[in-house]
Amino acid sequence: MASVQHVPVLLDEVVDILRPGPGKVLVDCTVGGGGHAAALAARLAPGGRLIGLDRDPNALARARERLAPFQAAVELVHADFRRLGDVLESLGTSKVDGVLFDLGVSSFQLDEAERGFTYRTDAPLDMRMDPSAPLTAEQLVNTLPEAELARILREYGEERWAGRIASQIVRRRARTPFRTTGQLVEAVKEAIPAPARRRGPHPARRTFQALRIAVNGELTALEAGLVAALNSLAPGGRLAVISFHSLEDRIVKQMFRDWSAGCQCPPDLPECRCGRQPMVRILTRRPIVPGPEEVAANPRARSARLRAAERTVLGVEEGEYHWYQP
């Protein structure tokens, strides 16, 4: 395993929000290369515990190497963060003091060309974060109806030319099925008008983002994972989420708002009948973003947005919230 070090985004801010200390139990739901986890684990002795989850076994191997100095206090689990509750139960833990999500594709996954996440290298059209998952980008591109392809590109990639790209994909696959990222990039470039291709980021960026989100079910996974995290937090526990595009950030913002709302009774009622209390206190009215020095040192940080909330009370029924059921 190469010893290249992952550069964690907004590290100081994450540490300040999650307040690691002796005896605390923290969860990194996307442990990745272990950068955030190492900074948190270093502050948990004596008696603290860091639980790291990731659905990518390659990421877990890297994290295990980086977290070796803290191995007595670290538990690493190959799991989707939607199953956080099951993981904690299997480890004999009911409530935790803090949970972190660092969303999206990692720099390691982008650098591994054979994973098919990047449009800059010709490779198998895969895009699975968990290599054992059954669905690949190749299957989506070659089998989805044109209208569904266009919807995915439009909704998940916010792609202006979604209809043209979907139509071009369907025409090309009728002649030769898509097998590589390079073939997909060619199709996207052919579909987008030349003046639009010459402006802004790489023309295939939004298409690749959309297919990756669809392959990995990232948005529904995020909703379910956030609910699992809320239900795992002890009162006073904190939840921190780093997102890298507007779709993720919008979900986090809306769910935090929903959880921070109190009484939901109609305003004409003389007194509250629902008895609902705010379940969290929002710690970041606006998202925290990297400063210019961090962006210069780590360009990946440019689009990062950090939001955080603190659990205030347990819910009405057994402390669990069911806004979303996976």
Q: Does domain 11-108+218-311 have CATH number 3.40.50.150?
A: yes
| CATH architecture of the domain with range 127-216 | Orthogonal Bundle (1.10)
Q: Token digits for 3? A: 């010893």
pLDDT for residue 276 is more than 90: no
What value does the mean pLDDT take over residues 246-253? 96
**Burial, 264: exposed, middle or buried (Cβ in 10 Å; 0-12, 13-18, 19+)?**
exposed
d(CA 53, CA 1): 19
pLDDT band at 264 (very low <50, low <70, confident <90, very high): low
Instruction: Tell me how far the alpha carbon of residue 283 is from its chain's centroid.
Output: 20
pLDDT for residue 242 is more than 50: yes
Q: Where in the chain is the domain with CATH 3.40.50.150?
A: 11-108+218-311
What value does the mean pLDDT take over residues 275-290? 90
Q: What is the pLDDT of residue 246?
A: 93
pLDDT for residue 64 is more than 90: yes
Q: Report the run of H or E that residue 306 belongs to, with start and end.
A: strand 305-311
Q: What is the pLDDT of residue 278?
A: 86
Count of CB atoms situated within 10 Å of the CB of 94: 12
pLDDT tens digits for 121-139?
999 999 999 999 999 999 9
pLDDT band at 94 (very low <50, low <70, confident <90, very high): confident
Count of CB atoms situated within 10 Å of the CB of 285: 6
Q: What is the pLDDT of residue 319?
A: 47
d(CA 50, CA 41): 6
Q: What is the pLDDT of residue 314?
A: 55
Q: Comparing 109 with 3, which gets the higher pLDDT?
A: 109
**Burial, 41: exposed, middle or buried (Cβ in 10 Å; 0-12, 13-18, 19+)?**
buried
d(CA 287, CA 305): 5
**Burial, 107: exposed, middle or buried (Cβ in 10 Å; 0-12, 13-18, 19+)?**
middle
Q: Token digits for 199? A: 């402006």
Q: Where in the chain is the domain with CATH 1.10.150.170?
A: 127-216
The stretches of the chain forming alpha helices (DSSP H) are 11-18, 35-41, 57-66, 84-90, 107-111, 137-143, 146-157, 162-175, 181-191, 194-197, 205-216, 218-232, 246-260, 292-297
Looking at residue 266, the DSSP 8-state letter turns out to be: -
d(CA 29, CA 224): 12
Q: Token digits for 247? A: 């779709």
On the question of a cis peptide bond just before residue 46, with omega within 30 degrees of 0, the verdict is yes
Q: Which residue has the tokens 């990421």?
A: 59
